[in-house]
Amino acid sequence: MLFHFFAKTQPILKILPLVTPFTPLSFSFATKKQQPLSPNEIQIPKDKIQLNFSRSSGPGGQNVNKVNTKVELRFNVDSADWLTLEVKKKLREIHKNSINLEGELIVTSQVGRTQERNRDDAFDKLRMMVFEASLTEKEREFLIPAETEVLAKRRVEGKRRKSDIKKVRSGKFDY
């Protein structure tokens, strides 16, 4: 009886393996690629981006006719040393319609009435494009095994039975 009481009050110990700096591990942190967690973490060097301002279209009254508020960002994807080769390749694939014949990615913005707002919006768009290109695709795991001939026959037979039941209900059946 005393043993039973003792066993209930004792905490359960979990034995964990001892990991020291000298213990060989099966994985390495150095080989894992660091990808940004959010678009705000991406730093774009503003001195390597060409900015052009022009007159915006759309509503805005006389402001549209007088002030150059539309922003156009341009940079050459191949000569951008602040992007990795994988990101450059993926940028070319994803945003091929935004890249001209010289290889420049063009991002425009004309949502605001000021140059500052449009410039910030265009840089946000560029950050989002680079973020999308920097994400790595996960490998698909096939949880359902490939359909075999037996499973295909079972499936077709089940569909045929269900069809026959529906035909009987509607009165369109042959004997």
Instruction: For 27-61, write each residue's pLDDT tens digit.
Output: 333 334 566 667 777 888 888 899 999 988 877 67
pTM of the predicted structure, to 2 decimals: 0.59
As a whole number of angstroms, the distance between CA 105 and CA 78 comes to 10
Q: What is the DSSP track for 92-107?
A: HHHTGGGB-TTSEEEE
pLDDT averaged over the chain?
78
Q: Is the pLDDT of residue 1 over 50?
A: no
Q: How confident is the model at residue 6 (pLDDT cuts 50, 70, 90)?
A: very low
Quote the pLDDT of residue 7: 46
Residue located via tokens 């707002």: 117
Quote the pLDDT of residue 26: 40
Kindly report the backbone phi and psi dihedral angles of residue 94, in degrees, each rounded to the nearest multiple of 5, phi listed first. -70, -45
Instruction: For 77-114, write each residue's pLDDT tens digit.
Output: 999 888 889 999 999 999 999 999 999 999 999 988 88
